[in-house]
Amino acid sequence: MEKLSFQRGISFGLVTVVGISSGCVNWSQIKQECHTDRMRNSAWPQPFRSADAAAAVAPFEVMKANGWQEFNTLAHCYFNESNQLTDAGNLKLQEVLSLTAQSKAPIYVQRGESEQSTAARVESMELAISALIPEGPLPQIAITDTAPATSSGAYQTVVSRALIQTTPNPRLPKFGAINAPSQNTVAPSAAAAESK
C-alpha cells in the first residue's frame, strides 16, 4: 500500500515538475477549476432538479395545449351552408366561452373550402361572441386545419341504442356453498351474553 501511494506521489511530482518546466501551468486557473468541481460535486442534485422537472412536465403541457385546441375548435358541423353558426354552434360557443375564460385559450375555427368561407365563419363567430360578451376584451379567434375527433349524431345514436339493447338484465347469482347467507342471526358477543 505504501509503495502504491509512493508511486502516485512520484508520478504527481513528475507531472508537476514537467508542467512547471514547460511554463504552461496556470495555478490560479487550476485552483479555480478544482474549487468549481468541488462545489459542483457537493451541490450535485440540486442544480439539475428544476431542469429535470421542466423536462418531465413539458410533454404534458403539449398535451394540455392540444386538448384545449381540440375542445375550442368549431368544426364544419357547427356551420351551415352559408357559413353562419348553427344552433349547435351557438351552444358549443357558449360552452367554450364559459370554460375558456379561465384558461385564456384562443377559440379555433376550422378552415373552410375557400378564403371567403373562412372569413365568413370568423365574422359569424365574432358577432356571436360579441353578443355573448357585450363588454371587455374578446377572446382571440384562430384558424386551424386540424379537425377535432367527432362523429355524426346518427352514428352515436346507433351505437348508444346497440349498447342499451345488448346490455343484459342485472341478476343476482344463486346461493351456493361459498356465498350462502350466514346462519348466525345474533352477534357472537350478544349470544355469549345471553347464555350467562
- Helix/strand/coil (H, E, C) string of 50-76? HHHHHHHHHHHHHHHHHHHHHHCEECH
For 28-53, what is the mean pLDDT?
A: 87
Which pLDDT belongs to residue 4? 45
How much of the chain, in percent, has pLDDT values that exceed 70? Answer: 75
Mean pLDDT of 105-110: 90
Residue 101: alpha-carbon gap to chain centroid: 19
Q: Give counts: helices (H), strands (E), the chain.
A: 7, 3
Q: Return the SS3 of 4.
A: helix
The grid coordinates of residue 94 equal 357558449
Residue 139 DSSP SS3 = coil
- Across the range 73-79, mean pLDDT stands at 91
Strand residues in the chain grouped as ranges (E): 73-74, 107-110, 141-144
Q: Is the pLDDT of residue 71 over 50?
A: yes
Burial 153-173 (b: 16+ CB within 10 A, else e): eeeeeeeeeeeeeeeeeeeee
Q: Specify the pLDDT at position 6.
A: 47
Q: Taking the alpha carbons of 142, 147, 149, 155 in that order, is the dihedral positive or negative?
A: positive
Please answer whether residues 106 and 141 qualify as being in contact, where contact means their C-beta atoms are separated by less than 8 angstroms: yes
As a residue count, the chain comes to 196
Region 22-26: mean pLDDT is 67
What's the whole-model pTM score? Answer: 0.55
User: Exposed, middle or buried: residue 84 (CB in 10 Å: 0-12, 13-18, 19+)?
Assistant: middle
